[in-house]
Structure 1
């Protein structure tokens, strides 16, 4: 068994059956991190090897703790983990070591995962490119001169490089989708509310960001999704926690899939992206799906204006306690903070009215189609030394995040979305697609993804490292 490439499901099955020990898996994991992490800088704040080996040995000696028993996982560095530096990629929190776990970390720990360290993020998770003043940039395992995406770039790169078999992430504006696409792995943004956020501050108003799983197969996504899902009585929204595992390939013959392409030119694309995504859609046709190109169902600019208002409002609420240290924030964080603080209540209301109109239109669309598809990114992985693209195919970008506009129709509505690998472009760089459906269709999307994965197995095309 090649432990650095075996699925999380198979690793856990082997541990449960006694064919593999947590100690053996930990030793292999640490060896792999030592070998390749210097090239990609995906895992940060790694715990001491002797502590981790002792924890793995205790796992082997004790009773089975849960569905992730003995599996090493590095947690995204936007999440507080007890005893591990939790910086959010900011020099302000460079030395912050929490005394307790955030909810998602606590759930993974309770399920038997061994939390080995953190995965790298952009500062405060802003921008789909992972770099920060604490740990530096995370490089793409398929080309070390390129970005790994973000904000879950460290998680995706660790999966692609074989340093972990499962990873957690979060997604406001594509943070589980863009890095999955650029690292040839899977990411899943669940229906909003399925995975509860940390119960701090306001828990009623903001519905843009969610936590979710990343993995090298839809089956493994389902495994972690079930662990981190479920209600939290401290939060007011209804939660869907019906298990999705075990994820099995569906029989998708007859499903109707709508292909939105570049939204009739509203989303500029670098050459080769649309054609590669259309090649991926051909797989669904082979599976018996009816795939149709459909016209844009809603005005892209209205969606964008609603999004940047609600996003700046949400981001500013999180950053406002740091206003006296504003000069220490990166430019995009300062931009979001200034915009959010300047918004009126009525501006937020009008943005949400647009969101509501788009939700109604999407609901009608899902009466015609079982799932919709968009590219997962508008550009190929770019130079790791750049903060963000300023233009796409000659179209100037007017904000630091406009180049990721393609993910916004999903994020604005809190829809479940599977980011699936679509293959490789002419330069050998990965790309992916977004497959999304109505709220509550998480299990269907994962099963559809499993059928696609059984035909393609893109993550088995591994980086040469």
Structure 2
């Protein structure tokens, strides 16, 4: 039996994987109205506890759109694999008619007039946009809380952080409030919440999912939109829908991701295990053990796993990263700071990013760019020996949601609000795609952790095949679902 079909429990459409749900709709085994009703019932019951979906559209509007999709099917019209599937857009993305707030109370009334390109593509494939998913203010930090909507709780324990910045998307997906989820990734924003909620999350290569509309199209390549899913095939389907060239985006990739019918196998795969970068990364107890356990299972399936020294100076990369990050984050914060009373209402981490960038010179930026180029070259040399590089996807377990960020890990003080997320910057800064796959749980069995696999630039298809092979290898692990909250 197809493992996605086995996921179905009774007659509950929300228990189906996205592609299984799509097949049931197309075969007229389920109507789009039945699907929408089931998801809305679950959202109304569970979302108040987890706070994953925000700005939800009225039920009557969404059911009317579901009826329209059913009428199209009755006429033999099929928009695509997302026909009738409910989709909530991360609040970094534009969905016409919905606010785009970036988790900032000062932007609460900023209603989008057009769709982001990846949203246009998902709509063309048939999805129904039902609302937005929660995120940290300005997407800063890997903990989803803001003064506009509040905190999103982890799908496995709502008293813990969901991660971020795509935390609302991850929790909505893990708690089956959505069949599949979109997000974005700058410094692990797809990977960290996927790892903390027992999901697949993929940061695509820069240009794979073109960003449009955006105010700047040449330098702003650190952030990218991408997919998150409970199943590898769903992950691949959503990435194929989101990706593809667009003439308005000059640095987008011209190649497309085709359907891959190759059998997925880990046999012969060469993986370099970077671990804690030779002691550079502060990592909470048990995380490396879980990641190494996952790598042992890959090795038992035929992969060749070797410990790997970084070959670059993590401290130099970090300093260059801070320059790039400040240069790209500060203008967005500055635009909001122009509003009356903004400085008093914006979180201190955003002000720190903005204020630290003042006086940043072009010469300093170019020195950081040169350091980035040297780092990129070293990563390419690693990919001559290895197909994938492995790191933990997070350096701490999901922490108490009342914290804004961890001040200390394993006895080491964190000197910035994002130092504890350092493990995720290496794929971003190298322009490489990276996959977070479910690796296991802490010793209590309650809190998930992900393993991060980085592929060579543009090797997104390899990561999709690895996700499928991992799913086939560990079906029992991936079948685990968060505790069902009491009615």
TM-score range, shorter chain: over 0.9
4+ runs of 1 displaced by more than 6 Å? none
Q: Which runs of no fewer than 5 residues in structure 2 stay unpaired?
A: 1-7
Residue by residue, what CA displacement relative to the aligned partner does 1:203-255 show, whole Å, maximum 9, x if unpaired? 11122111100000121111111111111211211414422435765223112
Does residue 125 (structure 1) correspond to residue 144 (structure 2)? The answer is no
2:73 counterpart of 1:73: no
Take 2:405 and 2:380, find their aligned partners in 1: how far apart are those partners? Answer: 33
**For 1:316-327, what aligned pairs fall within 5 Å after superposition?**
316-324=330-338, 325-327=342-344
Corresponding residue of 1:443: 461
- Partners of 1:229 and 1:241 within 8 A in 2: no
In structure 2, C-alpha distance between the alignment counterparts of 1:142 and 1:53, rounded to whole Å: 29
1:162: which partner in 2? Answer: 176
Aligned residue number for residue 423 of structure 2 = 406
Question: How many residue pairs are counted as aligned between the two chains?
Answer: 465
Q: Is the 8 A contact 1:359 1:413 kept in 2?
A: yes
Contact preservation (8 Å) 2:19, 2:81 = no
Once the two structures are TM-superposed, the CA of residue 202 in structure 1 deviates from its matched residue by: 1.7
Give the whole-Å Cα distance in 2 for the aligned partners of 1:349 and 1:244: 37
**8 Å CA contact retained: 1:120, 1:155:** yes
State whether structure 2 residue 99 is matched by structure 1 residue 85. Answer: yes
**Are the counterparts in 1 of residues 53 and 132 from structure 2 also a CA contact under 8 Å?**
yes
Cα deviation 1:411-453 (Å, max 9, x = unaligned): 1112111100111101320000101111111111110121111
- 2:352 is matched with which residue? 335
**The 10-residue stretch of structure 1 (147-156 or 441-450) with the greater mean CA deviation from structure 2:** 441-450
Backbone CA RMSD of aligned residues: 1.3
Deviation per residue, 1:128-158 (Å, 9 max, x gap) = 0000111100001211210000000000001
- Worse overlay, 240-249 or 355-364: 240-249
Task: Tell me, in whole angstroms, the C-alpha distance in 2 between the residues paired with 1:200 and 1:142.
Answer: 35
Give runs of aligned pairs for residues 105-254 of structure 1, distance below 5 A.
Answer: 105-245=119-259, 249-254=263-268
Q: Which residue of 1 aligns with 2:37?
A: 27
- Distance in 2 separating the partners of 1:247 and 1:350: 44
CA contact (8 A) 1:189 1:416 kept: yes
Worse overlay, 401-410 or 9-18:
9-18
Q: 1:307 aligns with which of 285, 307, 321?
A: 321
Give deviations 1:155-208, integer Å, cap 9, x for gaps: 000111111111000000000011000000110001111101123322111221
Query: Helix, strand or coil for the counterpart of 1:422?
Result: strand
Q: Report which stretch shifted further, 248-257 or 166-175.
A: 248-257
Match of 1:358 in 2: 375
Partner of 1:295: 309
For 1:383 and 1:248, the matched residues in 2 are separated by 42
1:96, distance to aligned residue in structure 2 (A):
2.0
Quick check: 2:311–2:378 contact (8 Å CA) kept in 1? yes
Corresponding position: 1:16 with 2:42: no
Aligned-pair distance for 1:289?
Answer: 0.6
- TM-score of the superposed pair, with normalisation by structure 2: 0.93
Greater alpha carbon shift after TM alignment, 239-248 vs 60-69: 239-248
**Counterpart mapping for 1:35-46 below 5 A:** 35-46=45-56
